[in-house]
């Protein structure tokens, strides 16, 4: 009877259970650019890091937006944007967002994304900057595919706040963003859920050009 073969023991990188999306290289295990950090958002706000994706025909890429913590187990959430090549390689290029969109020590979360097919990207998200308590505001930013802010169409600003601030009694985990054609030209329309101080929940709608 042959003796059992014992595999050599080698050291392994310290990989936490949440490092599920990983890439391997000749140097070991490295973090995937799309790996979301765990987050514990500010009081009254629950963030589910559901990704939003849209094919961008102008660059033949898939744009992916999601929420994650500023740091692992941090108390603040940020939104992220990445470009993924729509080919067999699926190369990931993280997009640096303006500080007008992503702030430090303030929550931005639950993004949704749309494109016009010619290079312009619309990114809508919930934002708590300037808000008291756990209130939040829907904002929409007009970008290039590289993340640069585009000059807005008056009277819009960039980013543009839409509707009244919401009370985080209930945070809608989904909002709709689509590009529609109107007699005056194209417009990006949004619909989202909002609660007021009396816990009344309504669906609001707004748009930017």
pLDDT grade, residue 34 (50/70/90)?
low
Selection from 75, 68, 74 nearest residue 42 by Cα: 75
Query: pLDDT by residue (tens digit) across 112-127?
Result: 999 987 888 999 999 8
- Residue range 27-49: mean pLDDT, rounded: 48
What is the Cα–Cα distance from 181 to 73, expressed in whole angstroms? 43
- Report the CATH number of the 37-208 domain: 2.115.10.20
Predicted TM-score (pTM) of the model is 0.75
In the chain, % of residues over pLDDT 70: 70
Cβ neighbourhood burial of 54 (10 Å; 0-12, 13-18, 19+):
middle
Write the CA distances from 195 to 26, 158, 162, 183, 201, integer angstroms. 51, 24, 14, 32, 4
Higher pLDDT residue, 132 or 90?
A: 90
């Amino acid at each position: 009877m042959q003796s059992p073969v014992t595999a050599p023991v080698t050291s392994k990188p310290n990989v936490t259970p949440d490092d599920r999306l990983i890439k391997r290289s000749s140097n070991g295990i490295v973090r995937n650019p799309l790996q979301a950090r765990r987050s514990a958002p500010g009081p009254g706000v629950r963030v589910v890091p559901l990704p939003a994706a849209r094919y961008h025909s102008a660059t033949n890429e898939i744009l992916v937006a999601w929420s994650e913590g500023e740091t692992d187990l941090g108390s603040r959430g940020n939104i992220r944007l990445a470009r993924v090549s729509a080919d067999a390689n699926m190369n990931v290029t993280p997009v640096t967002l303006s500080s007008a969109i992503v702030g430090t020590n303030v929550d931005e979360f639950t993004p949704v994304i749309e494109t016009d097919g010619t290079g312009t990207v619309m990114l809508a998200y919930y934002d708590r900057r300037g808000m008291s308590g756990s209130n939040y505001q829907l904002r929409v930013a007009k970008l290039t595919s590289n993340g640069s802010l585009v000059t807005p169409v008056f009277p819009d600003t960039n980013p543009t706040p839409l509707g009244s601030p919401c009370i985080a009694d209930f945070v809608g985990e989904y909002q709709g963003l689509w590009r529609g054609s109107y007699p005056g030209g194209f417009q990006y329309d949004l619909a989202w859920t909002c609660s007021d101080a009396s816990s009344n929940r309504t669906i609001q709608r707004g748009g930017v050009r």
